[in-house]
Every structure is written in structure tokens, then in C-alpha cells.
Structure 1
């Protein structure tokens, strides 16, 4: 089904043109018509392919001005992703009578209740806080026409499954339920299908041109050398803006201190940070005050920061899904990007398995004098001093002779 941005409401079209978009992405082409047709859908599409607008545009198009209760609920796993979705919705709602509001854990509950009194049509929130508001009878779900589960593989089947079910069950039976993620394991799809009405599957493969825009390198090194490699990577090109991922948040602060000692300003982002700390870190990174963001997987999910040139895997994740999500922070929407994995000899085996499954054309590289090379640098060795195998030199010989 072909469709045009001209078919959408005026404020949507204005925001689309203002954002510089000209064509719909593959996931938008396949998802938007199904959502407009009120079908339940399960969407798997690589990072950076435009999934947020794939569900936001049909939601915005279907909003009714005479309905004061919430009409759409979008559920996301992290505070950062909630805020990002809200910012995108707000940008596309400019010039309209509609509004969006966020509801996240850690924020003052009374203030969030006050937000609901302003009658936002779009609700974006984390599962626990949304359930709190529903149980308090402050969030009315009887007019909700669409529920979106973003990053579905992280939410469905996890520790918040009961909360997810409570949110879905609180809406009317004819509601539309859609799920989006970059990776969807079979067990997640099965659980989603049980909650949906005859769902359609949309699966987008990584386009050839998108792979060509992202270079995938890996370096084999000892664990103690990874920090130095990270420093060297940041000097391979001018104006590098990078995210480096590690598996364990325990070492993040120490790692940031080591980078500062090497005159590289780095921010840290992990789940134990307060909301204010995380927002301040992201703001500084977006403004270029930090060249490097050190993060756990909290930054791998849906976080869209323009201009990220490099993603560095300081640790190789144990599962392929985090590797996909991390790598997707660069090379988004056709932009160029570089993904570098720093692997120990053991991690190299894991990495090669991911390469086979994802068809990344991963190149084994090294750094020599600030340049990428596909082989270890060869240094010219000094010639050893030659020692005669014949008679000893005259001085040593004469000394021996005199002793006799």
C-alpha cells in the first residue's frame, strides 16, 4: 500500500518537512498502513530505521480533538527512552491542540498526577509508574485506542510482565496492541501473540546500503590494553563522538577517571545514576562537552543521539541482542558510523559467532600510528651485534697470554 505524507494532518506534515524527511523508511512503509487499519502488529527492525515514527505517525493521525481522556499509551523500559519518545511526539504535535506527557519512576508522584489533569492525549511511561496511576484511578484507560510496547524484548517476559498485563487489561478489549523492537526472540513473539488479536508480523532486514554506511572492526588484545586502545580510537579521526559500552557498571567511575587522566572528558551513564544525573550527562554529551560516553546497556536501548560516530564494545556482551542494540547507536538513518569491538582471545570466538549470524563483514584490524590496518604493525628490529666465531680479539688474547 503506497501512501504519502500529504495524506496526514497538516501539523504532522509540517513537522515532517521541518525535520528534513523526504521518504518513509521500510519499517514505516510496512507498519503505518497496518496501524492505520487498526491491526495488532509485532515489528522487528534494526536500530536506527525509524521505528518511533512508525508508530507515532498513525497515533497522531488518529487523535480525536473532542476526547479529553488519554487516547494512546506508549510503554518503554528506561527513563531515557521515555523522554526521547516524548520529545519526538512533542516535536510532531507542534501547532496542534494535542499534547504528550511522561510518567516515570523516581519522579514526584503528585506532580505526575497534576500532569494528568491537563488531559494529555498521549501517555509515555515506564510500566511500574503507569500501573501506580491506574491503581490510583488517576490514569483512565477507557478511551485508549492504542497501546505501544517499545523495546518489547526487554519488557515482555521480564520482571515487569505482570505490570505489562495490568496495563493492557485495563484498556477496552477492542484496543490496538503493537510491539516494536530491534530484536525479538521466538519466546517473546509467542508471549506477545497471546496478548494480541490476530497479530501481523513485520520484519525488516538490515538494508545493504545501511550496512555499507557502518564499518565493523574488531581488535584482539589483552584486557589490560583495552583502555589504551579506546584512547587511540578516539584519535583516529577529528571530531569523534563515541559511546563505549561495558558489561558491569562497577568499573565505570574508575574508567572515567582513567580517561580524564589521559585528557579525555567522559560522562558515565548507568541505571544506578539518579534521573537528574543521567539527564545532565546526556545533555553535556549532546552539546559536545563530553567526547565520550561510558555506559552500560541502559544506553543501548532506543537512545537516539545525533552525530555519534563510533560505538566501542569494551566488553563483548554474552548475548547477541545487546550487541545489536549497542551497535545501533551509530550509523542511524543512513549516516556513517564505525563500530569497534575490543576482544580478548576468548571473546574473539563469541564475536565471530555474532558476525556469522548477523552477516556484518567484521574485519580484524589493529591501530598503527593512528591509522587502521588489517594486520599487526611490523617494527624494524635492530640488528644484533655480530660476534666473531674465530680467534678472540687481540686484547683479551694478550691478557690471557700474560697470565700464563
Structure 2
């Protein structure tokens, strides 16, 4: 299928997508659309974000809907409400001229009563997050016994977020003869297990190598001391005035802090994280899409579903816990055949993560020097001069003022005028970078940290013990449930009757204390404090030799997250 009209899609769909600028199907669409129109076999499709997955499954499903029936015929599950909203909006665009098709999205941030009314009035397609879908099933409002298609979009992300049990609950409510379509950027072990248990004769298609990144994305690494990370970020931004990108942080708190500091330093930046209302998020995204705000500071969860073209950069303020998350992050840039850059700012001890990512994506990171103050001034100055030289002048607009302007400059020669214009333009940068220190450090591990994994461990106290049914696996699970420290390396664990002690990678001391600032465990307010013992190098047998992260079977199977997909609705009515 080289053109959309070759697939035999409904004429109304073809008109709508032509208006959207759809000319040639993307590789995932070329392979998926004909399969779904001709075959009842289940499908596993491997594709990165930004490859046109939504249209790949939406167009053939919409084409085959029985619009004479009010039954729900398709359900699409996504990991976040942002992605659910994006999918719904895309589907509305595809059905612009199909007044008889109704689509309902269920997600957080809206009235559940409104959502229930929307479902009861009849809809053909439901798009939602697993947690909210399960909630509506339990309320007996959402009935899936007549479902023909079930789509798991970004299935790897849903499993990482702990939705396996919810997904299994939803699958159990659908008829066995449904067609299951699983879309994922990667194919971890857990995806294979889902496929074996719940899919019938699944056909597998792929449009890129597994665990690979886009070919037109280059990966850059800057190495600095951990306490110089923010200064390094600012220098990278200042040396790249054309940057239009997402800065990924690990926690909501960190996201807010970095965005606030950037705004205080006069950068056009805003935060996007889970503590914001839907109205706030929509406002931020409108500004970002229009380009009036060029730097979006976001958590991985909040960024799911963001579909913004022409991003030049993705910046990893800190590398993610999970290697596959890096693939998702870097896939935000370099879309539609354009060049993109994925930037990692790391401390020397984090270079091991960089090496692991290199093996995962099959590409080498390009080591870069953090720009000096002089380099930044030179780069911006000559960029400014080029823009001035290229500026088009309308002499008619200026003619009335030129005589007076020349009089004002009569006492200044050419060099003096140029110097004054440059001084006005670059005073901010010259002050900021006067006598600025070199932020670059070696990417090699400090000698005292070598041998073993190269980690230093810090010891913490927690006010839970065996009396609270705590044991090492449960403690690790408790740590992994907290955003920002999931998957962190854990060292020695000592469980006592009423209290316990544990060690984690010293890099994440601040994140751990922030993560446990407001946590309850079985009705007990959890208190975590740093002990006075100095950090120690990794021991021969730390508990953290097995990395208990969201890829681990212990953490992901049968464990519900505390916060699920939300409970609102987003409905198309013609």
C-alpha cells in the first residue's frame, strides 16, 4: 500500500486525512492498515513514538465500525490521560465527515458523572487509561462484551507503570473472539507473556530494530560534577539559541524546581507534571505547540501523549532508571525525517548508564565539552550578527526617521555604534559568564569508586520493621513505588522489629528523601532519614546487585500503582 486510497478506506476518511496533510502512509501504516482490513489475526506492532501508530490502528477500525449499532465496538488503552486525549483528538479528526461515529475518552481531571452520562448515551469507541476503565467496569457502566477490537497502545509503558493486573481484568471482560492489537516501542519479556496468554495467532510487524533509536537522532553526552548540573544545562541552552525541546526530569518536584529556576533566569520555560490540573496542562501545551515557549520541563509520565513536531532537542537532565525510557525520550525528536539531538547531562559515576544505553540503541554517544563563557558569547554574538545581516529592511518605513537617527549617532563612529549595539544585546550573557569556571570533568569513574559497580551507598533509617510485616523484598517494593527512585540500586538491608536500615546509591539521596516526604504504609506515616555514617563503596554482596526496577517481575506483576489513569471524559458529538 503506497497510497491511502489503495487500501479501500471509506471515502469520508480519505477526505479527512487528506485535509490533515496525509500524503504517503508511514511504514507502520503501510504494514498495519492492510493487515487489519483483511485479517482477523491479532497483531503485535513494534514502532517508536512519532511513527504514525494512531492512524495505523484507528483508520481500519473506524472503517469497519457498525454505526447502526450503539454498542461499544472498540477500546483503546493508553498509559496516560495525555495520550488518551491525543488519540481521541486524532480519531475525531479522522471522523470529521462521519457524523454517525461517536468516540469517548475516559481520563482524570473531569467529572466522573459526566463521563458516565457520556457512556450511557452510547458510543462506538472508548479511549482510556487502564485504571479508570477498570473503575467504570466495576460500576457496571462500561460494558465490553461486544468489543471487536482491543488496542494496547504503548503496551511496554503500561506494564512499566504497574497496570498489568488492570489490563488482565479488562481483557477478561472482553469476548475471546475480539481482535487484539498491541503496539509497543520495545518487546520486553512481559509483552511476550501477555501475547502468549491473551492473543490468538499474533502476527508481528516492525518498522525499526528492537530497542533501537531513530537513525536521524544523534546522542550527545556532557559530563559535569553532580552539583553543577543546572549550570551545565544553562550553558547548553545558551550555546543553542535555536533549541526547541523537552527537558526530562525524574520527579515532579525536580521538574518544578528546574522550570522555576529557568524562568527566574529569563528563559522561556514551563513545567509539565502530574500535580497540574488539566486546564494548566492544556495552557502549557498550547504555548509550547505555538512556539511562544521553547523549553518544556517534564516528567516521563506527563510527557506521554505529547505530539509536537519539529523538536530540535531532547535533554536528559538526569538519565532515566529504565533504558527503554531513554528510547521513548529520544524518540520525541528527529521526526518526519528531520535531524534531532538527544542530550544527556551526567556525572562521572553515571557513565555506566550511558554505556548500557549505547548497547541498547546500537549507537555511540558523542562526547561534548560543556561550553565555556567565551564560547557561548562568541556563538551568540556571531549568530546575532548573521541575523542582522540577513534582515530585510523596508526603507519606506524608516525613511521618515533616518535623518533624526543619523543626528543622534553623529558623535559616534562606526565601531562605537557596533560596540554599543552588541553591548546592549549581550550584557546579560557577559555578566553571567564573566570569570565563569570550566564545568567539564572527566567521564571516567573516580579511582576510589572503581571495582564492583562503581557506586557509593548511603545509609538510611525507616520507621518500619518486622512488626509492620516488612521484609527486604517489601522494602524494595516500597522504594520502587515512589516516583524518582524506582529502580535505584539498593545495598545492605537490616530489618529490626520496629525500625529498619537500608542503603541506596548515594546519587539519589535527595530524591529518596523527597519521595518519602508524604508517604503512608498500612496506615503508618513513613519517616525516612539519612543516618550519620559516611557513604561507603559498594560491598561484595549488596542487595542492589539485582536491580529491582519496573522491569523486574517482582515489581510489575500483580502490583497496582497507587495512582491510576483518571476519571474524566472527552467525547466527540456531532
Please state which band the TM-score falls in when normalised by the shorter chain: 0.7 to 0.9
Write the distance in 1 (CA, Å) between the matches of 2:82 and 2:66. Answer: 28
Matched, 1:88 2:90: yes
Per-residue deviation, 1:203: 2.5
Counterpart CA distance in 1 for 2:51 and 2:339 is 14
Aligned to 1:113: 116
Per-residue CA distance 1:231-289 (angstroms, 9 max, x = gap): 23333444422110111222222212211121013211222333333222222222333
1:5 aligned residue: 4
User: Which residue number in structure 1 is paired with residue 153 of structure 2?
Assistant: 150
Of stretches 277-286 and 42-51 in structure 1, the one that deviates more from structure 2 is 277-286
For 1:54-101, what per-residue CA distance to the aligned partner results, in whole angstroms no more than 9, with x for missing partners? 111111111122111111100111111110101111110101121211
Shift of 1:204: 2.5
Q: Counterpart of 1:179 in 2: which secondary structure?
A: strand
Give me the whole-angstrom Cα distance separating, in 2, the residues matched to 1:146 and 1:68.
15
Which of 293, 296, 311 does residue 293 from structure 1 map onto? Answer: 296
Taking structure 2 as the reference length, the TM-score comes to 0.61
Q: Distance in 2 between matches of 1:350 and 1:276?
A: 36
**CA deviation map 1:144-184 (0-9, x unaligned):** 21010111112247533232122222222211111111122
1:357-372 aligned within 5 A:
357-368=360-371, 369-370=375-376
Partner of 2:50: 48
Query: Residue 35 of structure 2 aligns with which residue?
Result: 34
Question: In the alignment, is residue 332 of structure 1 matched against residue 335 of structure 2?
Answer: yes
Q: Could you say what secondary structure the match of 1:143 adopts?
A: coil
* Aligned match of 1:19: 20
Taking structure 1 as reference, are residues 289 and 130 closer, same or farther at Cα in structure 2, changes over 3 Å only?
same
Match of 2:188 in 1: 185
How many Å apart are 1:186 and its aligned residue?
A: 1.8
Alignment of 1:252-271 (within 5 A): 252-271=255-274
CA shift, 1:123, in A, is 0.8
1:112-155 deviation line (CA, Å, top 9, x unaligned): 01212442211111112212222222223233210101111122
Report the equivalent of 1:70.
Answer: 72
Q: Is the 8 A contact 2:274 2:302 kept in 1?
A: no
Aligned to 2:308: 305
Partners in 2 of 1:361 and 1:249 — Cα distance? 30
RMSD: 2.3
Aligned position for 2:571: none
Query: What's 1:221 paired with?
Result: 224
Equivalent position of 1:134 in the other structure: 137
In structure 1, distance between residues paired with 2:82 and 2:314? 18
- Listed as ranges, the gaps of 5+ residues in structure 2 are 381-434, 436-574
**2:3–2:23 CA contact under 8 A, matched in 1:** no
Work out whether residues 151 and 301 of structure 1, in 8 Å CA contact, stay in contact via their aligned partners in 2. no
> Take 1:24 and 1:347, find their aligned partners in 2: how far apart are those partners?
40
Check conservation: 2:2, 2:25, Cα contact below 8 A. no
Distance 2:215 2:156 in 1: 27
Structure 1, unpaired ranges of 5+: 373-378, 380-404
Whole-angstrom distance in 1 between the partners of 2:183 and 2:69: 26
Shift of 1:291: 1.8
Decide whether the 8 Å contact of 1:42 with 1:199 is kept in 2.
yes
* Cα distance in structure 2, aligned partners of 1:282 and 1:148: 26
Tell me the SS of whatever aligns to 1:333: coil
